[in-house]
Amino acid sequence: MTSVTTTVKRLIALATDPGAAAGEAANAAIAACRLLRRHIELLGSAPTPTPSPAAPGPDRVRRMRIMSRYDGRCRACGLGYAAGADIWWARGAGGVHIGCDREAA
């Protein structure tokens, strides 16, 4: 096991060496990753993957809270809002009053 550890340390040193050629450094980093995957017990325990945030699907709209640059009309209640008002906004969906966001969601 120590030979694997030593090899991984040397590969990482080569991958991070500022004097190494770009291709050589990239190959060393790839080789170190492959060795670590093959010998996962070197890490102590298998790392638990962190879940990535769910990307909005076609039926979900990602809204941002912004200060409106222009006068507009709320898509949920139909009332107008003035430039400078805080609204929920989404590309392609328009603006919604902060208080109307529950009905629009």
Q: Please name the residue ranges forming H helices in the chain.
A: 2-15, 22-38, 101-104
Q: What angle separates helix 22-38 from helix 2-15, to the nearest 10 degrees?
A: 150
For residue 34, give the 3-state DSSP assignment.
helix
For residue 2, give the 3-state DSSP assignment.
helix
What distances in angstroms separate CA 34 from CA 13, 18, 68, 84, one per listed residue? 16, 22, 50, 54
Percent of the chain with pLDDT over 70: 73
Interval 45-51 mean pLDDT:
61
Mean model confidence pLDDT for the chain: 80
Q: What is the pLDDT of residue 105?
A: 47
Interval 11-27 mean pLDDT:
89
Structural domain spans, the chain: 2-43, 64-104
Residue 52 predicted with pLDDT over 60: no
